[in-house]
Chains A and B, each alone.
Chain A
Amino acid sequence: MATAEAEIAERAAGAAGTAIQPQKSQLTRSRVRAAWLFLTPMLILLVMVAGWPLFRTIWFSFTNANLSDLGSARFVGFENYLAYNDGEWYGVLADGEWWNAVWNTLKFSVISVALETILGLIVALVLNASFPGRSLVRAAVLIPWAIPTIVSAKMWGWMMHDQFGILNHMLMGLGLISAPLAWTASPDLAMTAVILVDVWKTTPFMALLILAALQMLPTDCYEAARVDGIHPVRVFFKVTLPLIQPALMVAVIFRLLDALRIFDLIYVLTSNSKDTMSMSVYARQQLVDFQAVGYGSAASTLLFFTVALCVVLYITFGRVRFDGGR
């Protein structure tokens, strides 16, 4: 039955092939060839810088490789992921700290991306209005995004220092707090601090992408709305938001991909602390600090699949399309 089906499919494909091929003109074929010619260097580069490390990491995750001696790695199957030994579960999937890291990462991603989207939208709407000095303000807004993360994380680390940090000084000066807060040390505040800095840093990115979408909007809808005397808030929800939605969805997916693999900001601000440990921080700790390349690669591979899963879910349920159509 299966072979019969395959045969039919093959014959159909063959027929389609012979039916279509003669219709391809000389020009089309040479264009396809040129396209491949131009694409090949990039594909080779991608395989080298992205494909090979990915493949190597996945391979290492099935071995007991150690950083001090990578050559003697031995294949161990799924032991790094999950294994049952003497009545106890071992492996990344049985590690409470891993699940803590997963939870931290998801919490961080959802909250920070949501805040960045809302704030970015507001900033973009403001920058879209015409006022004197607009181009200057547009450039100035980009500064946080232009500063390297390590620099901004270190800078915020000092600003949030509990004893000599300027943030506490200002808040106390305004009378909002009575005693200095230990922003990066207190378990209740550490995640808030990380999210705060991330929102500060990436809101400009969101604002820029949304602003680009706003600039493309047709003016006739707005003119019609004005003629009909529709309230601006209603115009925003009925006209602006639906029109920029595709661009917004793409911007959110960019940020989501970035947020799910967050590492530098958290590592600089709060080091390996459990309260803020993300999946990437966990994987790095295993790979480098504990030299467990096999185990750490398993964590990295799981991180890769978690990010992939989140994106697939988002695209499916958000009905995002990248071809621009709606």
Chain B
Amino acid sequence: MNNRKSVGLFVSMAFGAALAGASVAHAATLSISCGAVGQEFEFCKTGTEAWAKKTGNEVKLISTPNSATERLALYQQLLAAGAADVDVFQIDVVWPGTLANHLTDLTPYAKDAVKEHFPAIIKNNTVDGKLVAMPWFTDAGLLYYRKDLLAKHGAQPPQTWQELAETAKKIQDAERAAGNDKMWGFVWQGRAYEGLTCNALEWVASYNGGTVVDESGKITINNPQAVAAINNAAGWVKTISPEGVLNYTEEESRGVFQSGNAAFMRNWPYAWPLAQGPESAIKDKVGVSALPKGGADGRSAATLGGWQLAVSKYSKNQELAADLVMYLTSAEEQKRRAVKGAYNPTIESLYKDQEILAAAPFMGELYDTFVNAVARPSTVTGANYNQASNQFWNAVHGVLSGRAKADASLAQLEASLKRMSRGGKW
């Protein structure tokens, strides 16, 4: 690699001497890593192609694993090796702290664009004063339901998890009796991966059980509300949710829901245009609402998700890569993605855009859900976030699969998080 670098350096020096000060503006080829969940890859392709056409460069797309956990592992290996193969990375809202060392400061390129985006996300993406990533789209957990089935069985969209379980059971039993033996009540993401942390955080927060670790770094997970929340969820497995949900990611749950085999689904906004698409078995039969509350005193809580674009420090085309990032995160491109793909903009003013609201009505109706979404404790736990999250999802997975009791499991989780953080000091 060093050899290649020095050859490259030599070549560019020779070029520099030949051109003697003339600005070098020949076309370059950039690589961007895009997610491939749902229509993500298509949208990334059309967006980057538009930029490529405009600037006369070329962009290569690299597809990555669907599971966020596996994607992070891949990025870490690439970046730790200092690989220049990928110029622009699509990174999760919880990764800036972990990857900051390998990313370029985008402040000089972003300039005023920063002010248009939600301040909370910009703050999340700023590590030690460096803006390491630009917000691309934001996410929050939503409850999808089958309007037709709810109307058929005389039910309303549920306000609490208890109502959801009752309605789901009622619909599931009635539909099975009517001959659809594949019918399930509720599907979600229960595999032992980052998605389970998102789901479980919603349950716990909706019961007012905190966010595992609070903003000061104190470990708060071992409390009666959290135990109640997780016990409640464990009760769904094998009753209203198939046991296989313990190995589902987003796409598996969408597969079951979109084939018409579930009454409710917890998922991100990306599932909306797909469920409404021409090939969908449930077109025009889907409603979206905020997630249920944890009991009468609870609140509706959605985990804050969303993806950012970052430029690798090892990229050989820093400026071009940053330009691509600024183009993809611009208001114009975010609007296109919102109208056609229901990707939530990170630019506040777009939530008043009539075209967007017409294409994805829930963005206006659930504006509060998106703005008040519960953040995972990635800022306070810093580089330890992935490990802490891993402990959390494993503890929850143990309870869901019936191997452990919630109270014992959370007490153990508290102890191991304390060990990891040396008493909450992280």
Contact = CB atoms under 8 A, between A and B. Distances in A.
Contacts of B386: 289-291
B244 A163 contact: yes
A57 interface: no
B398 A274 contact: yes
B394 to A, nearest CB: 6
B73 A289 contact: yes
Contact of A68 (B73, B80, B192, B242): B80
Nearest to B420: A290
Nearest to B390: A289
A68 B191 contact: no
B383 A291 contact: yes
B297 to A, nearest CB: 33
At the interface, is chain B mostly helix, strand, loop or mixed? helix
Contact of B244 (A67, A69, A161): A161
Contacts of A67: 76, 80
Contacts of A73: none
Interface string A92-134: 0000000000000000000000000000000000000000000
Contacts of A271: 67, 69-70, 191-193, 247
Contact of B394 (A70, A274, A288, A291): A274
Interface in A273-326: 273-275, 285, 288-292
B231 interface: no
A291 B76 contact: yes
A290 B390 contact: yes
Interface string B13-44: 00000000000000000000000000000000
B376 to A, nearest CB: 16
B247 A182 contact: yes
A164 B184 CA distance: 14
A180 interface: yes
Contacts of A292: 387
B76 A182 contact: no
B402 A187 contact: yes
Interface in B54-81: 67, 69-70, 72-73, 76-77, 79-80
Nearest to B192: A273
A291 B242 contact: no
Interface string B166-194: 00000000000000001000000011110
B261 A163 contact: yes
Contacts of B77: 288
B245 A185 contact: yes
B372 interface: no
B352 interface: no
Contacts of B401: 185-187, 275
Interface in B242-268: 242-248, 252, 255-256, 261
Nearest to B391: A97
Contacts of A90: 419
Contact of B242 (A162, A187, A270): A162
A88 interface: yes
Nearest to B247: A185
Contacts of B246: 182, 185-186
A272 interface: yes
B242 A273 contact: no
Contact of A69 (B101, B182, B261): B101
B193 A272 contact: yes
A152 interface: no
A182 B403 contact: no
B247 A290 contact: no
A187 B403 contact: yes
Given A186-B246, A289-B386, 11 more contacts: A66-B383, A67-B76, A70-B80, A162-B242, A163-B261, A185-B244, A185-B401, A187-B401, A288-B77, A289-B69, A290-B390
Interface of B: 67, 69-70, 72-73, 76-77, 79-80, 98-99, 101-102, 182, 190-193, 242-248, 252, 255-256, 261, 383, 386-387, 390, 394, 397-398, 401-403, 419
Top 9 A-B pairs ranked by shortest CB distance?
A: A162-B244, A185-B247, A182-B243, A185-B246, A182-B244, A290-B387, A288-B73, A187-B401, A67-B80
Interface of A: 66-70, 88, 90, 161-164, 180, 182, 184-187, 270-275, 285, 288-292
16 contacts: A67-B76, A68-B98, A162-B243, A163-B244, A163-B256, A182-B244, A185-B245, A185-B248, A185-B401, A271-B69, A274-B192, A274-B398, A275-B401, A289-B76, A290-B390, A292-B387
